[in-house]
Amino acid sequence: MTQDDLNRVFQRAGIGERHGGSLLVRSPIDGAELARLHELPAAEIDAMVAKAQSAFRAWRLVPAPVRGELARLWGEELRAAKEDIGRIVSLEVGKITQEGLGEAQECVDICDFALGLSRQLYGRTIVSERTGHRMMEQYHPLGPVAVITAFNFPSAVFAWNAALALVCGDPVIFKPSEKAPLSGLATFRALERAIARFGDKAPAGLAQIAIGRADLAEALVAHPAVALVSATGSTRMGRAVGPKVAQRFGRRILELGGNNAMIVTPAADLDMALRAILFGAVATAGQRCTTLRRLIVHHSVKDRLLERLVRTYAALRIGDPLADGTLVGPLIDEAAFAAMQAALGSAQEQGGRLRAGGRRVLDEQYPKAWYVQPAIVDMPAQTAVVRHETFAPLLYVLAYDTLEEAIELHNDVPQGLSSCIFSNDMREVEIFLSAAGSDCGIANVNIGPNGAEIGGAFGGEKETGGDRESGSDAWKQYMRRSTNTVNYSRELPLAQGIQFG
Ligand code: NAD
């Protein structure tokens, strides 16, 4: 891609001016400088929140279906910008073209979802125990929502949160990952264009962006007027954010690290499992929160599956994510590479046998980028390193004898995001999905752990944070519930039959 092409992509995405600041953004593809963005001083956060509060007072009164029109317009802008946003995601995060486009499509999908949702913010009616009384629940807008994102879904996670927050009546303040602010900015610019088309009913300060590092996120987390903090990133970050939001009785959505597994039973379709393992373990170079990190395989099929997997890994096309046919792009940075190497070392110390990959490649062609062969390590047991999330394409393989043992291994990690089983045995499948089965927020059958659709609630248990976003009824977290009892009788009966005076 020439510099002129690059400039045109950014220009069309509304990021014409991207130099002169202090936040250096490099492409993991070749280490080239993409931008130097101006950073917002943390002292500005107070003013931003005040603006959001004032926007909230107006926006909450706009009828939800009218707010839905903004989601529709944003969806239109995103459709028009899909190629450019996908391209920026690829340039900035190193996703292959298909995955970059897929991320932009998720933004479109959540806008469509939010538009429909804007006419379905249903409360319940509840029968009253008292004559001439009616009870109901209403969902009202909550207040300013801060969205803090991770580098690996720099566009979609903002859209997931913002589309819902906006139709729920909440202004948004977006703090993109400092490792990938351009994709977020391009997605935000599409929202700004939609707001401009929406017209006067959209108050100033409805959507704001705070470009910078973790100190900005910390200021948002601590601010008492930020009603909901939706933070996506490492468990380390969640440990800092969770208690701070709790201390001021704010609401939070924490979407943190995963350690996702697949159980492959003797009743599995191995061809299908193989394809799912490949996409699960090496897509986004192993840098998805839902990346497949543990393969728990029955003894009777392990050798067969592992042999085929090793052969498939040897043929993987690693390289420029924008080139046709590439399946594995670069790691985000040197620290990610170092973490993978450290984990590989620990795994081997803990009895693991390296069966594939693990080495840096293309370093002569791209001395400032970090391409790595996806690795497979055959482990004798679920040791300490296996229980830890290493954010790289590193797949551990474990063997099991009974399904109970497999499920025990599966659940015996601190994280609880995504999981799956490959089996055509109905009993095995149902046990995996039952109360005694997978303890994750996502449990799939005959598909991999990654690549979730926006229609379902997304999130995980334990160290993954325990919250949900995106589809189903995740919208309820962006609203406050009000329980109303209406007395249309001429008496004043008290609940529980109490006689008072
Ligand atoms: P990270 O934790 O380093 O950073 C994420 C965001 O948190 C950034 O915007 C950063 O500025 C901010 N941040 C960092 N420290 C903070 C603090 N003390 N207070 C407030 N904000 C702070 O994560 P990353 O490296 O960008 O992303 C990778 C991690 O994110 C992986 O662990 C991955 O599993 C996880 N992730 C989870 C999900 C999910 O939905 N569960 C989705 C994507 C990524």
| Lookup: tokens for 454 | 């926006």
| Lookup: tokens for 50 | 């005040």
> Looking at ligand 1, which residue's alpha carbon is closest to its atom 12?
214
* Residues flanking ligand 1, CB < 6 Å: 148-153, 175, 177-179, 213-214, 217-218, 221, 232-234, 237, 240-241, 255-258, 289, 389, 391, 417, 464
**In 3-state terms, the chain is what percent helix, strand and coil (to 5)?**
40, 20, 40
The dihedral sign for the CA sequence 106, 111, 112, 117? positive
- Which atom of ligand 1 is nearest the CA belonging to 289? 34
- Which atom of ligand 1 is nearest the CA belonging to 332? 25
- Chain-centre distance of CA 42, in angstroms? 25
* pLDDT-above-70 percentage for the chain: 100
Q: How many Cα atoms within 13 Å fall on the side-chain side of residue 426?
A: 0
| Residue 39: active-site member | no
Rounded Cα–Cα distance for residues 197 and 217 (Å):
29
pLDDT one-digit tens code per residue, 268-293: 999 999 999 999 999 999 999 999 99
Rounded Cα–Cα distance for residues 154 and 13 (Å):
15
pLDDT one-digit tens code per residue, 166-190: 999 999 999 999 999 999 999 999 9
Rounded Cα–Cα distance for residues 104 and 82 (Å):
5
> Looking at ligand 1, which residue's alpha carbon is closest to its atom 7?
233
| Residue in 107, 111, 168, 289 annotated catalytic | 289
> Looking at ligand 1, which residue's alpha carbon is closest to its atom 22?
214
> Looking at ligand 1, which residue's alpha carbon is closest to its atom 26?
150
pLDDT one-digit tens code per residue, 312-364: 999 999 999 999 999 999 999 999 999 999 999 999 999 999 999 999 999 99
Does residue 501 surpass a pLDDT of 90?
no
CB atoms within 10 A of CB 388: 17
pLDDT one-digit tens code per residue, 453-472: 999 999 999 999 999 999 99
The dihedral sign for the CA sequence 425, 310, 153, 318? negative
The best mutation among 229, 237, 331, 417 to test binding of ligand 1, ranked by most ligand atoms within 8 Å of the C-beta, falls on 237
Rounded Cα–Cα distance for residues 235 and 466 (Å):
12
The secondary structure of 430-491 as a DSSP string is HHHHSTTS--SSEEEESS-S----TTSEE--EETT-S--EESTTGGGGGEEEEEEEEE-SSS
Rounded Cα–Cα distance for residues 109 and 119 (Å):
17
Class of residue 364 by CB neighbours under 10 A (exposed 0-12, middle 13-18, buried 19+): exposed
Q: How confident is the model at residue 254 (pLDDT cuts 50, 70, 90)?
A: very high
Q: How far is the CA of 462 from the centre of ligand 1 (A)?
A: 16
Helix, strand or coil, per DSSP, at residue 497: helix
Strands (E), 201-323: 207-209, 228-232, 251-255, 260-264, 292-298
Which pTM value belongs to this model?
0.97
Q: Are 196 and 46 in contact (CB under 8 A)?
A: no
221 φ, ψ to 5°? -60, -40
| Lookup: tokens for 5 | 């092409």
Q: Are 420 and 447 in contact (CB under 8 A)?
A: yes
260-264: strand order across its sheet:
353-356, 375-378, 394-400, 292-298, 260-264, 418-422, 442-445
Alpha helices in 124-269 (DSSP H): 156-167, 181-198, 214-222, 235-247
| Residue 168: active-site member | no
| Residue in 106, 255, 389, 428 annotated catalytic | 255
Class of residue 174 by CB neighbours under 10 A (exposed 0-12, middle 13-18, buried 19+): buried
**How large is the greatest C-alpha to C-alpha distance in the chain, in angstroms?**
88
Per-residue model confidence (pLDDT) at position 126: 97
Under DSSP, the state recorded for 387 is T
pLDDT one-digit tens code per residue, 41-78: 999 999 999 999 999 999 999 999 999 999 999 999 99
Does residue 191 surpass a pLDDT of 90?
yes
Q: Are 382 and 398 in contact (CB under 8 A)?
A: yes
